[in-house]
Amino acid sequence: MLSLHDLHTRLRWPASVVDNRRVTQQPDDPVDNGVSGTVSGNVVQAHTINGGVHMHAPAGRVVTLPHRAGIMPPRAAYFQRRTVVEPGLSGDGQARTSVVSGMGGVGKTQLALDYADALWAAGEVDLLAWITAVTREAIMSGYARLAADLTGAEDDDPEYGSQRLLEWLAGTPTRWLIVLDGLQSPRDLHGLWPPVTPTGRALVTTRRRDAALHGHRRRVVEIGVFAPDEAHCYLRAALAARPQLLDGVEGLAARLGYLPLALAQAGAYMLDRDLACAAYQARLSDRRRSLAALLPDADGLPDEHQATVTATWSLSIEQADRLQPFGLAGPLLAVASLMDPNGIPVEVFTTRAVLELLGAMVSRPITEDDARDGLACLQRLSLLTVGKSSSPRAVRTHALVQRATRESQPADQLSVLVLAVADALVQVWPDVERDAVLGQVLRANVDVLYDVGGEHLWEPGVHEVLWRAGRSLGDSGWIVQADEYFDRLHGAAVERLGPDHPDTLSIRSNVAYWRGEAGDPVATLAAFEALLADELRVLGPDHRETLATRGNIARWLGELGDPHAARAALEDLLAAEIEAFGPHDVFCLTTRGDIAYWQGEAGDPVAALDVFEALLADQLRLLGPDHRDTLTTQGNVAYWRGAAGDPVAAVETFEALLVDQSRVLGPGHRAALTTRSHIAFWLGEAGEPARALDAFEALLADLLRVLGPDHPDTLNVHREVARRRP
């Protein structure tokens, strides 16, 4: 309980004559408070006061409606309306608050501005307030100013003013729209969300994607980059005064990832330098130039931008690093910056290689859960997205975010990052590619890694991830692409390792092999013969690579029409392999199969079948039933049974093989699909053309789904179906 004297002293009211005849500590006693004389300022007459005391300044002028409050940002030049966004902002009749979420630079503020202006122009709101929401203090300050405008009562404490505004909004029949622009943290709006009323609306823009942004009658609207046609329209409008600069506009828009902020700043850069789109794209492709050097300086930023693209994202990274697990978001984004922006398997980030790298970067042990939580922090700041973990393309980010992140890494750190990512991709690469999409995604990630950091993948030799990518291409049936891949790799190997390095010689073997598979046996035989001479000189006659090349020469002799020469060369090779490795070595078993094949091609299918059956028995004993070589020999047994005149036995053996392949390799593996093609073929040879056609048609449907319409295997089966249809 306060005496009047205490209250007067604490509140420091201006002097006045106060007649306080009796003040007592007993609340039930009568109190006679009187005021006489001339009074200047505020006077408080009180008996008992429980709780705090809050005094309002004298009432000010109340604004008349309709009223706009706050400083709205200027409209961007060449603003592009985005029809896919407008329904989300308008709501569904239930949501009264729209939360516009997206990465820095997608144009959230401009979309909010356009929406607010449209409502105001249509007369759908009587009160439009724009409040900068970068901090909780800024929100409360904006609320308090608006409360003073609407009620005439100013509060010294913004918290009281904020509550006064929320009470006013909750009780007024006025149609209002509150825009909270640039929310940095959901907790800044704790207790400050505009109330849900029939006549009120709110719109919040933020880079955040936290679950806390969802709530009663709120709708979160995810904003992405421009659609391609929107980006093209923007650049054409921005450069309309100089049409000669439009050369290459569509390519540049794609290279900038259709990001509105990047397009605006690139447009300003080009106009200031009279630079065409194609020329700007050439500079962008030049890795000697940093992204920051290709953006306007502070004086040249368009539309009153406060920061360049790169600076915008650095603030988001700092925020993400402050979330738990602390300091992990930045290193994880550095890892992601070296891979395909269109999709990275989430398992890459939880490999031993990446966890050890992260631990070294933050100086503490990092677990798989830490890595996943760190990715979630980046998603909360819209720096990347994390989809379903079952998707091979679960993690996606923007290519310019990646570039800005890479360019912020010290040179010595970049090499460490590249090697860790390469190791991680090898660790997630399955020994058997059951999933064609996963193989495609992993190869795409290797392509990006090599493009941005390939110079670090050659010491002391070719990194395993480069071998994996090439073999995956060929094993998946992309023969021409595998040939081209290894040809490019060979050129780089000669430059970095020298022509006689063992890895360079091994790459030459792959080039020759896939060139032959692509249909050029003459060039292939010549390439293997030249390679053998170099391997004999560099590696010696008993090296496995040298012996493998001898086997390839024998094969291509047969492919060029001389099966007898092929068989003779292979028999000499088998003798050398037995002497070097013993009769049960895998090389020896493979050569025995090659001898049997060319024996059959020379016109003796029965003898070939006998050799393959004996070989299969040895492989089952030495390698086991699930070894890839065992499965291959089982397929050869099936084929030569058909070639020896028993197509029914061929079908039965291939069907048994398909069961094993589906179990070991997966039903979508190319080897299993090839076996189905053999089954269909031998059904036709066994006198069942209708079943053969049905089998080919079913196979075609699966090939279209698994490999796509342009895959060579799909095209071959498509032709077979067309040939067999009546």
Number of neighbouring beta carbons within 10 Å of residue 551: 19
Span 324-365, pLDDT tens digits: 999 999 999 999 999 999 999 999 999 999 999 999 999 999
Longest dimension (CA), the chain: 132
- Token pair recorded at residue 691: 């079943």
pLDDT band at 85 (very low <50, low <70, confident <90, very high): low
Q: Is the pLDDT of residue 21 over 60?
A: no
Span 509-555, pLDDT tens digits: 999 999 999 889 999 999 999 999 999 999 999 999 999 999 999 99
pLDDT band at 13 (very low <50, low <70, confident <90, very high): very low
**What 3-state DSSP class applies to 34?**
strand
pLDDT band at 726 (very low <50, low <70, confident <90, very high): confident
Q: Which is more confident, 465 or 87?
A: 465
- Token pair recorded at residue 410: 């010290």
pLDDT of residue 311: 86
pLDDT of residue 58: 52
Average pLDDT for the chain: 90
β strands within 15-170, DSSP E? 16-22, 32-39, 67-69, 97-101, 127-132
- State the average pLDDT over residues 76-92: 74
- State the average pLDDT over residues 614-628: 96
Q: Are residues 319 and 377 in contact, defined by beta-carbon separation less than 8 angstroms? A: no
Rounded to whole angstroms, how far apart are CA atoms 209 and 221?
10
pLDDT of residue 107: 93
Rounded to whole angstroms, how far apart are CA atoms 653 and 499?
46
Span 340-350, pLDDT tens digits: 999 999 999 99
- Residue 296 has phi, psi (to 5 degrees) of -65, 155
Q: Is the pLDDT of residue 81 over 80?
A: yes
Q: Percentage of the chain with pLDDT > 90?
A: 81
Span 470-503, pLDDT tens digits: 999 999 889 999 999 999 999 999 999 999 999 9
Q: Is the pLDDT of residue 443 over 80?
A: yes
Sign of CA dihedral 28, 33, 155, 137: negative
Q: Which residue is it, tokens 């395993």?
A: 464
Q: Which residue is it, tokens 């100086």?
A: 363
pLDDT of residue 503: 98
Least confident of 80-94, 151-165, 293-307: 80-94
DSSP code of residue 625? T
pLDDT of residue 26: 45
- Token pair recorded at residue 32: 């006679």
Q: Is the pLDDT of residue 434 over 80?
A: yes
Q: Is the pLDDT of residue 87 over 70?
A: no
Rounded to whole angstroms, how far apart are CA atoms 159 and 10?
21
